[in-house]
Structures are given as structure tokens and as C-alpha cells.
Amino acid sequence: MYKRLSAIMFPLTTLLLIGALVWGYQENQEKNSILIKAENQYQRAFHDLSYHVERLHGELGNTLAVNSASSGMHRKGLVNVWRLTSEAQNEINQLPLTLLPFSQTEEFLSKISNFSYKAAIRDFTKKPLTDGELSNLKALYKSSGEISKDLQEVQNKVIQNRLRWMDVESALASEEEVKDNTIIDGFKTVDKRVSAYPELDYGPSVASIYNKRAVKKNGGSLVTAEEIRAKAAKFAGAGSGAEVNVKENGMGTEWASYTATVKSAKSALPITMDFTTRGGHLISYNDNREVGPAKVSMTNAVTKAEQFLNQKGYPNMTAVRSDRFDNLGNLTFITEQDGVLIYPEKITIRVGLDSGEVTGFQASDYVNEHDDKRVIPKPELTLAEVRKFLNPEFKELYDRLAWIENDDGQELLTYEFGGKINGSQYRIYLNASDGHEETVEEIRSSTGAQEQ
């Protein structure tokens, strides 16, 4: 009996063992194939990065070599600089550097990219490169040459010593301190060099991208948690028996704020609100109640939202967009001053269409941009004069004056035209002084979306 059982089990066990070995071998081969592919991608991205930074250095030199009045060559050179920095940024993102301090170099390339793009798209016949911008290009030419040299040194060591990027990824992923890795040390050297460069004046258009937002005019003095507790209870309309808890967020940092939670018999679920620490300005409001089936129209929702804003101390707000998502209405309001819509001062409101009550409120843009002393100039061109700058095929649906922030971070007066062309709906903002197109926005409609 045992002999018969052995005769059956031995071949079966042998087959299973062979199958396990074959499976393990195939798994190992697939793993090695994936690792080789990843290593090849890392090597390609690194060598391309070194090449494009070297090309960037050369292109900056070419741009500086031509006559200061050669606007055509300046434009071409700056376009190439923008393209090369974009390539370099893309290659950095493909390398396993997320745990490695390389942010200074990434920001440096980002600023070169934005500076060259902003300069290249303007009309050089009217606004040629300034002495300051040429000085910036000279500084960037020198800096990019140093960075290129450092990267080439790392590249030579990678080639000579056959270094692997997979080892870099493993070293960065491990919790142990990395004491010696040629590639890591080389990138740290590059980032340390970049951090020592003096900050250049790239102009307001580029600076506006990197400037941290802050409350402009209504900063006010620091408020206490007790003051926030009173503000939250009043805004929520809670009775004397309501429980209001206040939590401090990020105190001692530039993003400090208060979060207030209001629990009352009026609502089954708590209401949460965020306030600034200076002035105690409301940033957001969220009523977590469950919203029932829709019974209120979007038109009535806009009316109720306007009433809510007036009651809460936000007068002269105009709805410019309304979108419906199931049983919720999302509305966008902006300040209206002397017949001009102030787009930077934006508030978004969420309305429950079961009762028309406001369930959400976001006012960070309004808090950061509101200015009671803003002076709006008179338009230099008439509506009829500006309308001539529109595409003849543009089917105009409405027009109005709008105060916007353009791509250069400058606030200015425009004529806003809403209309259709090529089967799509757009907002076009034309400068009220010269008719120049400041910005164009395609309006992508969601369910029930309306332009006010």
C-alpha cells in the first residue's frame, strides 16, 4: 500500500517542485525586466536633463550675443529657453528625487521658464527687453553654466563607475541616513549652489506667481479664540445654548487660522467655520446637514443666496455663474462697484435645493482681495470702439465692465463680452484702454449651468 502511495506521490511532488521552480524563475525574470526598464528610464531622464541644461546655457548665450535691438532674435531665443527649461523640469519629475532636497533647483528652473515665457509672448516692438531683464539674462547665463558643469561632473562619474539610479531610489527610500552616494551628493551640491544665488527681480508678472497670498486691506489685529467663538455663534444663528468649540490651526506659521464647530438644537449635524487670525474674517462655512430632494429652482436659489450675503454683511454682490449638481446649486458671486464687476473679490456659495438654504460658503478670494478704497478709472474707449476688436464671427450675448487681474498679475479695467463662436461659449476680456485681449475663457457648462 505504501509502495503504491509512494509511486503516486513521488512523481506528483516532483512535478509540483518543478512547477514552483519554473514559476519562481519566471517571476524573477519579470522582476528583473521591470527593474531594468526602470533603470533605463532613470538613466535616459538624467542624461537628457544634463543635455538640456547645457543647451539652456548655450541658448541664453545666443540670446545675449545679438544686438540689443534684435527683437526677433530675442523672441526666438526666449522661446527656446522656455522650451528647454520645460524639458528639464519634466526630466527632473521623472527622477526619484522626491525625498532629496532639490527644490531650490526646481524653483530656479521654474522662474527661468516663467520669465522667458512672459517676456517672449509680449510685443517687443512696443516693449523691448529692459536693461534689468538683460542683466537677469546675464546672471542666468552664468548660473546655468555652473549648474551644467556640476551635472556633467555627476554624469561622468555615473558613466565611469556604472552607477545605478535604482541604488539611489533604494537609498532614499530607506530610513537609514545616506552617508555616501555619488549621485545624491552631486544633486545636493547643485541645490546648495542654487540656494546661494542672489534673488533676481523678474518683474511683477513672474513675482505674482510665487508671492504668497495675504489679506490685503482688511488684515486687522490678532483676534482671540473667545472672539472667534462669538463670531461663529452669531454667523450660524445659534441660540444661547449652542456648544461652540474653537481649534487653533498652524499657530506661529504664516497659514495660521481658527476652526470653529457649532452644535445646536437647530441642526442635527455640527456647522464648521474657518476664520483668519487677523481680523477674524470668515474664510469658509459648511453646514453638514443632509440635503433632500430638490424643490427650489436655481433662480430662487440665487435670490436666497443674495439675501444670505446681505444679511451676513456682504452687500453689492452679483451672481455671475450658477451650476446645478443633483440637489445642490453652486453659485459664484463677485463684488459690484459703480457698475463694474470686481472679479478678484469672489465668493462661492453652495445652496441646498430642498429648501434654498445656504449649506456652504467659500470666501478666501474675497478676504484676500477685498479693498474698500479701490479706485476704478473710467474706460478710455467706448463700448462701440472696443467691440471692433472682437472676432467678426463672435456672436455676442452680453457685455459689461469688469475689473480683472491679467496674466502679468496686474489689475485693470476691461470690457467683458460673453458669447458664442465655433459651437462653444466664451468670455472675452478686452482692455478698456486699448482694446487688447487680456484673457479668453471657454465656458464649460455643467448640468444647469447659467451665465448671469
Residue pLDDT, tens place only, 189-243: 888 878 777 777 766 666 665 555 544 544 578 889 999 999 998 888 876 677 8
> Looking at the predicted structure, is the pLDDT value of residue 419 above 90?
yes
In the prediction, which pLDDT does 44 show? 85
Specify the pairing of strand 340-352 against strand 395-405. parallel
**What is the signed CA dihedral for 143, 149, 150, 154, rounded to 10 degrees?**
150
In the prediction, which pLDDT does 389 show? 94
> Looking at the predicted structure, is the pLDDT value of residue 115 above 50?
yes
Helix (H, G, I), strand (E, B) or coil at 16: helix
Look up the pTM and report it. 0.66
Which of 170-184, 245-259, 333-347 shows the lowest mean pLDDT across its residues? 170-184
How far CA 433 is from CA of 250, 325, 327, 388, in Å, comes to 44, 39, 43, 13
pLDDT tens readout for residues 12-44: 666 666 666 656 555 555 565 666 777 788 788
> Looking at the predicted structure, is the pLDDT value of residue 268 above 90?
no
Return mean pLDDT, the chain.
82
Average pLDDT over residues 73-93: 86
> Looking at the predicted structure, is the pLDDT value of residue 163 above 60?
yes
Helix (H, G, I), strand (E, B) or coil at 334: strand
CB contact at 8 A, 56 and 81: yes
> Looking at the predicted structure, is the pLDDT value of residue 94 above 90?
no
How far CA 430 is from CA of 120, 399, 410, in Å, comes to 21, 11, 14
